[in-house]
Amino acid sequence: MSIELPDQSARDQALDISQSFIVQAPAGSGKTALLTLRYLRLLSVSEQPEQVLAITFTKKAASEMRERILQTLYWAQEINSSEDSPSGQFDQQRLEIARDVLDKDRQNDWNLLENPSRLRVQTIDSFCFYLASQLPVLSRIGGNPTVTEDVDQCFRDAIANTLKQLNESNHISADLERVQIHLDNDLSRIERLLKNLLYNRDQWLPYILEIGNSNDDARSYLQTCLEELVSESIAKAQTGLQSFESNTRTYKLCPW
């Protein structure tokens, strides 16, 4: 007898490949198993396995998911050659989806079990590396790209290319000149500030992209940020003063 999970309807809905979902659940609740089934279901309706892409943050997660996919296919293949049949609802669903993939595999000569590299389960950086390799001209890095850990050199190159615009007449040269004047023509300081910005680009880049090229929007956004910063600073100072006053002892002086 199989016991239906309290969130079974949500799990079933997440396997509807005509829609997109965000799956949020605590560790050990079966997210990887659910994502594996969704990946397999997408494979079952694809012309080529490379058309299905799963992106993870870490190599460990990518390896685990690829292993889960292969284990499921091997498991379904073994059951097909025996008379055993799973009794649980999840395993029955898992078997049905895996069989669809195996049928597709045979029909199209994918040979996934012999060529697991055709399963596109990758980290974000490996996927970007793949794209750059496929687009050598458009990516401007040639046909043999390499991954570097020396981001400092990349930042220096980007800053140097940016500062070259000071000698040009375009939309960015006037802005750079204004920064240069503000910092007393100290190019070393400008480079340090730009490098710090690049190291922390995750904190400001989304807002820059949202504002776009509108000076009015940028001014309004910066004014709002300044007001919030002032309010937070005043509130923090008030809290500190209240704490100081409550911990301060007062003494009554004797008259002369």
**pLDDT tens-place string over residues 13-34:** 888 888 888 888 788 778 888 8
Chain centroid to CA 36: 19
- Which range marks the domain in which residue 213 is found? 201-236
Q: Do 94 and 172 share a domain, yes or no?
A: no
CATH number at residue 103: 3.40.50.300
Instruction: Say if 225 falls within a structural domain.
Output: yes
> Taking the CB of residue 40, how many other CB atoms lie within 10 A of it?
23
Block mean pLDDT (10 aa), the chain, length 256: 68 84 82 90 93 91 92 88 70 88 93 92 89 81 76 90 88 88 92 92 83 80 90 90 67 60
Instruction: Say if 101 falls within a structural domain.
Output: yes
In this prediction, residue 249 carries a pLDDT of 60
Q: Do 183 and 223 share a domain, yes or no?
A: no
Q: Do 232 and 124 share a domain, yes or no?
A: no
Q: Do 124 and 155 share a domain, yes or no?
A: no
The helix-helix angle for 31-43 and 89-108 (nearest 10°) equals: 30
Q: Do 67 and 161 share a domain, yes or no?
A: no
Q: Do 19 and 36 share a domain, yes or no?
A: yes
In this prediction, residue 69 carries a pLDDT of 93
Q: Do 92 and 157 share a domain, yes or no?
A: no
> Between the CA of residue 191 and those of 3, 86, 152, 183, 200, what are the distances in Å?
63, 64, 12, 11, 14
How many structural domains is the chain composed of? 3
Instruction: Give pLDDT tens digits for 29-68.
Output: 788 888 999 999 999 999 999 999 999 989 998 999 999 9
Instruction: Say if 243 falls within a structural domain.
Output: no
Q: Do 224 and 209 share a domain, yes or no?
A: yes
In this prediction, residue 122 carries a pLDDT of 93
Q: Do 38 and 110 share a domain, yes or no?
A: yes
Q: Do 207 and 193 share a domain, yes or no?
A: no
Q: Do 29 and 126 share a domain, yes or no?
A: yes
Q: Do 119 and 187 share a domain, yes or no?
A: no
Q: Is 87 left (phi over 0), alpha (psi -120 to 50) or beta?
A: alpha
- Percent of the chain, pLDDT > 70? 91
